[in-house]
Amino acid sequence: MTGRSFVDTNVLAYVYDRGSGVKRELAKALIAQQLADESLVLSAQVLNELASTLLKPAFGLSLDEVRLALRTLASAPAVELDMNMTLRALDARERYQLSFWDGLIVAAAERGRCAEILSEDFNHGQEYFGVRARNPFLNAVSEA
């Protein structure tokens, strides 16, 4: 395993969530550092989910701003989806009782040779096919 980190959509979305305060600042610093270290790994699924999320009225971003957000991540490798990934997602669903979509995240992180999955959606500290989940906001101060 390398020091590569697979980053889930929810972590990336915080970078653009003006109302998330501490989590936004943590996400911005984390993504900037991982882009600089070349340790960030994404998937086609995450990029598409991010585009869809950022286009929601709550984020208030234009199409051009969403395009820019995606281009900012262009240097990170993006794991492509194929039949083997879909089958591995089913394995993850069966073994770990995950949703199919979270199973795809696990499959992509595994294929991307990542040491960890950064997400709020997985059990912090649990390993999935040898990839450990970590919630980067676990110790963040919650804001009202």
Do 81 and 74 form a contact (C-beta atoms < 8 A)? no
Q: Where are the domains of the chain?
A: 5-134
Per-residue pLDDT, averaged over 3-14, amounts to: 97
Q: pLDDT tens for residues 55-104?
A: 999 999 999 999 999 999 999 999 999 999 999 999 999 999 999 999 99
With H, G, I as helix, E, B as strand and everything else as coil, classify residue 134. Answer: strand
Structure letter (DSSP) for residue 80: P
- Report domain 5-134's class: alpha beta
Q: What is the pTM of this model?
A: 0.92
User: What value does the mean pLDDT of the chain take?
Assistant: 95
The strand pairing partners of 72, in sequence order, are none
